[in-house]
Amino acid sequence: MSEAPKPAQSPGYDTSEPRARTIALFGAATLVVLVIVILGLQAYVDYAREKQIFVKQLEPVSEDLRQLRAREDAELNSYGYLDREKGIVRLPVRRAMELLIREKELKNAR
């Protein structure tokens, strides 16, 4: 009797070479996706921060602050005495700038 050939014994694991090109492409694709995700998250965080700053700066101003600004505007844009006895007056800013320019022009003309 003739014996049947025995099948070759496999070592129990894959003996083929790994596909280096496929592994490299998968690694590169993973890297690209990771970079895109990181850049996207950074853009979102920057957008959210800018939005919060924008909302905070445009919040309604308190009534006290409005009154203060109105009082400052009134003082900057009106005439008044600072010290009557000494004759010191307050001029509107625009008028004071005009007088200063005129004074400098007169000095330069001499």
pLDDT, tens only, 31-50? 999 999 999 999 999 999 99
CA gap 73, 96 in Å, rounded: 15
DSSP state of 7: P
Assign 5 a pLDDT band (cuts: 50, 70, 90). low
Of 74 and 28, the structure prediction assigns the larger pLDDT to: 28
Contacts of 75 (CB under 8 A, 6+ apart): 90
CA gap 107, 101 in Å, rounded: 10
CA gap 47, 22 in Å, rounded: 37
Does one domain contain both 54 and 74? no
Does one domain contain both 44 and 83? no
Number of domains in the chain: 2
Its domain, for residue 71, covers 67-110
Instruction: Give CA angle at 17 (13, 21), nearest 5°.
Output: 135
